[in-house]
Amino acid sequence: MILEPRFTDDVADLPTHKFGPSSLTWWGIIGFMVIEGAAFGLAFAAYFFLMGHEQGWPPEGRKPPDLLAGTLFTIIILLSEIPNTMIKKAAHERDVPMIRLLMPVIIGVGAVLLVIRGFEFNSLNCRWTDNAYASIIWALLLLHTTHILTDWFDTIVLWALMMTPLGYEGRRLVDTDENSMYWRYVWLLWLPIYLMIYWVPRL
Amino acid sequence: MTEMEKVGAEDERLARERKKLARDGPKLTGAKLEARLDRAWHRPPGILGWLATVDHKEIGRRYIITALIFLALGGALAALMRIQLAVPDNNFISAQRYNELFTMHGSTMMFLFAVPVMEGVAVYIIPLMLGTRSTAFPRLNAFSYFMYLFGGLMLWVAFALNIGPDIGWFAYTPLSGPQFSPGKRADVWAQMITFTEVSALAAAVVLVATILKTRAPGMTLARMPLFAWAMLVQAVMIIFAMPAVALASSMLISDRLVGTNFFNAYEHGDALLWQHLFWFFGHPEVYIIFLPATGFVSVLTETFCRRPVFAYPVVVLALISTGILAFGLWVHHMFATGLPRVGYSFYTAASMTVAIPTGLQIFCWLATMWDGRPRLQVPMLYVIGFIVTFVIGGLTGVIIASVPLDLELHDTYFIVAHFHYVLIGGAVFPLLGILTYWFPKITGRMMNETLGKIGFWLLFLGFQLAFFPMHFSGLLGMPRRVYTYPAGLGLELPNLLSTIGAFVVATSVALFVVNGVVSLYRGAIAPPNPWGASTLEWATSSPPPVYNFAHIPVVESRTPLWDVAGELPVVTGLRVDEKELLLTTVVAAAPDLREPVPQASLWPFIASVAVGVFFISSIFSPWAIVFGAIPCAIALTAWFWPKEIKRHPEPVIS
């Protein structure tokens, strides 16, 4: 250093982790949520832009998607918030055994959701090549599926990490907390998509 | 013993060990401290260490050098186009090749030069300017560079193999769609977008987190250097704008590869959807390039006028309002597509409004110069060249914001003149100024002042000679993107002048490179603060040590180095045997957390290779999306997975 130091304060006693906006992880996750949110927002805009060109929605002669699979998916993903909140709470309370117990539950729910999602694609009553309407609803469903899939995989990796002694590390608890926050985002995003795929065509 | 008891005992043992860890302080300072920090922060040697580095200075340098190489390549294409256009009815270059040249030129300059070079400069300088030791998420930073490099290589290798894109840098559908662009040229363009957008988004998240969370204690938002403000606004703009082009290019690829119909009018898709999505990104993109340059201008004006920038709050608010307004202008690129009347009025008004904050910034700089004592060294010359040139470009911008004039001038050389005035005048001039200014910081040596002055005047005059006549060729009706023009329409003289000017510009850029290379080896050794600047990057040696600062500085004013009297206030207590950062609160910059910094790792590089293979193979088969994702998932998992599964007294990221 070129200038001589003048010592003021000592930071040795600061913690090495905190929950929420103090942590860098929180900012990273928020950053990527905003990026994905912007992409979804524009995809929604594209949906309504294409809808504006049509006389009917779905275009004439086509059936709207069947409701069963999508509605079942919506109910289950809303219920998944119960274990999700419990995991978030356990992370704040440093209750690692509880986290280790609950994470397989939410991973199982994710697996069930992925299976139902397969049936959803099958109940859209169109193929993506049919017309612009079909392309955009396939795109919305696919975009959301990538979020379910990546978060599911990510949760499995985190669970494996939580099973090691490092599960007791404060920063891993912050990760668990943020992972729960991200899952909330995934299901919140689903609600407008559910309306757009299943209910707007029925208006 | 139950598990909880075991964990409790372990916690106690770790707490005892934590007390023994070595930290900097009055007892551990000077050469002894520097030697220990150097051991903790250095990366492994050799090629593997080179690939694994997470040092923001190395990554920033690579970004800058790679972007300058792409500038040279893009410039060479421009020179070829100018040779073709020097005389009428020329057949030096065929129409098809010409289409490829302007597509490659525009795509290279926008995606591979302008945005990355700004991020590169920021990645290098921002942590130093904020008084910290690393960026946030250093491995993501390394990943972002490799994604950028691979995207650029893919585009240029494709061009060399004669499958380079030929659809213009904004790739309008239906021309770029499956019907009118069979083959792989358009796919190469679209995937290059995917690479560079992943890279830019990653770098933007890195910069936002760095600027908000790693500032030196006491550097409140109201004391933050204007360059950091400019980069914060720019990074947030990237976060909102880039997803639009990501979505658009994914839709284009899926139209081409798996037969969706987003842009296919026969199945009720719409080519204008492409234009909306593209320009929702494309217009903010201009400000994504321009705002960092205004940050450079603020830095240079302050240092070379020896006075804090006039009306700091106005400049900050101007940056923010430019960032917001930039998202309300995109439709002015689409005036010629036909719009509702109210759309015309709204977007004309919005386009003219954005001139207000930009004008305010210019008046603030002028006031700074008027009130200060300007020193006309090379970086300051670039500032003056910037103001003159950018104001001309800004004024032609206000002209074409008017719908009747835009309809007349749309797709003519008048537009080419306009955007080169704002992009070269507005971004490249300040960039060359700032590279001259930070050259001693990066290399430890000064650039040659005489060569720099000759280079500046050649560039400034050559630029005017090249682009001013284009206003006239545009007014005479010469369309852009056409490979030649007939004789006898009055276009000969302006085109010949433009070609001569282009070669003067090329000479000046070559001179800048020569100056850089010669100065790197023979330049005068830089004193600690060669320009008498006020910001923290000059509070450490040049080039900075790998850990940037031996003690973390404390900031007590907006211009710290002008206000400390011989001694730099610092905080102590960070670890010296492991890499650690100090995080501070977002607004007040009060010390908040100690954050472990990841060790060098090969996994970001391996992940970028896996993602690269995934992107490139998905040009050829949709199944690549399924099979290509697996190596990506493995690489990303390995990236995050800790190398030792045991607890340390304090967390480390191995």
On chain B, the residues whose CB falls within 8 A of the CB of A54 are 268
Q: How far apart are CA B239 and CA A201, in angstroms?
A: 31
End-to-end CA distance of chain A: 69
Distance to chain A for B645, nearest Cα, Å: 6
Tens-place pLDDT, residues B123-135: 999 999 999 999 9
Q: What share of chain B is helix, strand, coil (3-state, %, to 5)?
A: 65, 5, 30
Measured between beta carbons, the chain B residues lying within 8 angstroms of A153 are 633
Q: Quick check: B208 and A128 CB within 8 A?
A: no
Q: State whether B262 and A153 contact (CB < 8 Å).
A: no
Cβ atoms of B223 and B212 closer than 8 Å: no
Size of interface A-B (CB pairs under 8 A): 211
- Cβ-count burial of A11 within 10 angstroms (0-12 exposed, 13-18 middle, 19+ buried)? buried
pLDDT of residue B644: 85
Q: In chain B, which residue's Cα lies nearest the Cα of A163?
A: B645
Helix ranges, chain A (H): 24-51, 67-79, 81-92, 96-122, 132-162, 170-194
The pLDDT value given to residue B3:
77
Contacts of B528 in chain A (CB under 8 A): 2
B514: tokens are 């020569």
d(Cα A172, Cα A163) in Å, to the nearest integer?
11
Report the percentage of chain B scoring pLDDT > 90. 93
Concatenating the DSSP letter of every residue in B505-519 gives HHHHHHHHHHHHHHH
Could you read off the pLDDT of A41-60 as tens digits, one per residue? 999 999 999 999 899 999 98
Nearest to B596 among A11, A16, A34 (CB): A16
CB contact under 8 A, B209 and A27: yes
Query: How does strand B567-572 pair with strand A4-10?
Result: parallel
* CB contacts, 8 Å: A34 with chain B: 239-240
Nearest beta carbon to residue B594 from set A11, A135, A161: A11
- Per-residue pLDDT tens digits for B378-434: 999 999 999 999 999 999 999 999 999 999 999 999 999 999 999 999 999 999 999
| pLDDT for res B1 | 66
Measure the CA–CA gap between B147 and B150, rounded to whole angstroms.
5
Give the number of other CB atoms < 10 A from CB of residue B89.
Answer: 8
ipTM of the complex: 0.96
Residue numbers in A near B569 (CB within 8 A): 5-6, 8
Nearest to A8 among B11, B23, B571 (CB): B571
Q: Which residue has the tokens 């330049």?
A: B523
Residues 6+ apart with CB under 8 A from B503: B79, B82, B462
CA distance B135 to chain A (A): 11
**Can you tell me the distance from the alpha carbon of B599 to that of B52, in angstroms, rounded to the nearest whole number?**
9
A36: closest CA of chain B, how far (Å): 7
Q: What is the CA radius of gyration of chain A?
A: 22
Q: How far apart are CA B365 and CA B506, in angstroms?
A: 29
Q: Using one digit for the tens of pLDDT, what is the confidence trace for B170-181?
A: 999 999 999 999
Q: Which residues of B touch A1 (CB under 8 A)?
A: 539-541, 549-551, 568
**Within 10 Å of residue A31's Cβ, how many Cβ atoms?**
23
* Residues B147 and B232: beta-carbon distance below 8 Å: no
Closest CB to A35: pick one of B243, B528, B541: B243
Q: Select from B214, B213, B201, B191 the least CA-distant residue to B140.
A: B201
Neighbour tally for A82: CB within 10 Å: 13
The amino acid occupying position A183 is W
Q: What is the C-alpha separation between B388 and B394, in angstroms, rounded?
A: 10
Q: For residue A134, list chain B residues with Cβ-Cβ distance below 8 A.
A: 261
What domains does chain A contain, in order, with CATH numbers? 65-202 (1.20.120.80)
For A97, which of B3, B204, B651 is closest by C-beta distance?
B3
- Closest CA–CA distance from residue A41 to any residue of chain B (Å): 9
Whether residue B549 and residue A1 make contact (CB cut-off 8 A), yes or no, is yes
Nearest of B18, B165, B5, B11 to residue B578 by alpha carbon:
B18
What is the SS3 assignment for B579? Answer: coil
Q: In a mutagenesis test of the A interface, which of B19, B139, B205 is the best target, namely the one with the most A β-carbons within 10 Å?
A: B205
Nearest CB to B568: which of A3, A39, A133?
A3
CA nearest B214 in A: which residue? A24
| B240 with A53: Cβ contact below 8 A | no
Q: What is the pLDDT of residue B6?
A: 84
Mean pLDDT, rounded, for B436-452: 97
For A160, nearest residue in chain B (alpha carbons): B641
| Residue B116 and residue B67 in contact, taking contact as beta carbons nearer than 8 Å | yes
CA distance B187 to B164: 9
| Beta strands B552-553 and B567-572, pairing class | antiparallel
B573 neighbourhood in chain A, CB within 8 Å: 10-14
For the stretch B36-67, pLDDT in tens is: 999 999 999 999 999 999 999 999 999 999 99
Mean pLDDT of B482-488: 96
Q: Which of the listed CATH numbers 1.20.1730.10, 3.40.50.620, 1.20.210.10, 1.10.3720.10 matches domain B51-522? A: 1.20.210.10
CB atoms within 10 A of CB B425: 25
Pairing of strands B580-584, B552-553: unpaired
Listed residue (B249, B245, B239) closest to B202, CA to CA: B239
pLDDT of residue B292: 98
Report chain B residues whose CB lies below 8 A from the CB of A32. Answer: 205
At residue A1, the pLDDT reads 46
Q: Which of A6, A32, A157 sits opposite B637 (nearest CB)?
A: A157
Contacts of B596 in chain A (CB under 8 A): 16, 171
The answer, yes or no, to whether residue A2 has pLDDT greater than 80, is no
Is A91:A180 a contact under the CB 8 Å cutoff? Answer: yes
pLDDT tens sequence across B180-199: 999 999 999 999 999 999 99
Chain B: closest CA distance from residue A74 (Å): 25
**Average pLDDT in chain B:** 96
- Compare all CA atoms of chain A with the CA of B550 and give the residue at the minimum distance: A1
What's the pLDDT tens digit per position in B312-346?
Answer: 999 999 999 999 999 999 999 999 998 889 999 99
What is the DSSP code string of B147-212?
HHHHHHHHHHHHHHTT----STTTT-TTTTSTTT--SSHHHHHHHHHHHHHHHHHHHHHHHHHHHH
Query: Which of B26, B280, B540 faces A7 most closely, judged by CB atoms?
Result: B26
Show residues of chain A in contact with B258, CB under 8 Å. 128-129
- Per-residue pLDDT of B90-117, as tens digits, reads 999 999 999 999 999 999 999 999 999 9
What pLDDT, on a 0 to 100 scale, did the predictor assign at position B5? Answer: 84
Out of B528, B571, B593, name the one closest to residue A16 (CB).
B593
Secondary structure letter of residue B577 according to DSSP: S
For chain B, the structural domain boundaries read 51-522
Amino acid letter for position B127: P
pLDDT of residue B275: 97
- Tell me how close the Cα of A77 comes to any Cα of chain B, in angstroms: 24
Residues of chain B neighbouring A171 (CB-CB closer than 8 A): 596, 651
Choose from B331, B595, B654 for mutation: most chain A CBs within 10 A.
Answer: B595
Is there a contact between B111 and B74 (Cβ–Cβ < 8 Å)?
Answer: no
CB contact under 8 Å between B593 and A21, yes or no, is: no
Please give the Cα distance from B541 to B548 (Å, whole number).
8
Q: Do A168 and B29 touch (CB under 8 A)?
A: no
Structure-token pair, residue B145: 């560079």
Instruction: Tell me the pairing of strands B552-553 and A4-10.
Output: unpaired
Which of B212, B568, B640 lies nearest to residue A6, judging by beta carbons? B568
- Return the closest-CA partner of residue B109 out of B509, B570, B647, B549: B509
Let me know: does B346 contact B386? Beta carbons within 8 Å. no
DSSP secondary-structure letter at B215? P
| Chain B closest-CA separation from residue A58 CA (Å) | 12
Closest-CA distance, B363 to chain A, in angstroms, reads 34
Q: Do B570 and A5 touch (CB under 8 A)?
A: yes
pLDDT of A61 = 87
Residue type, B246: A
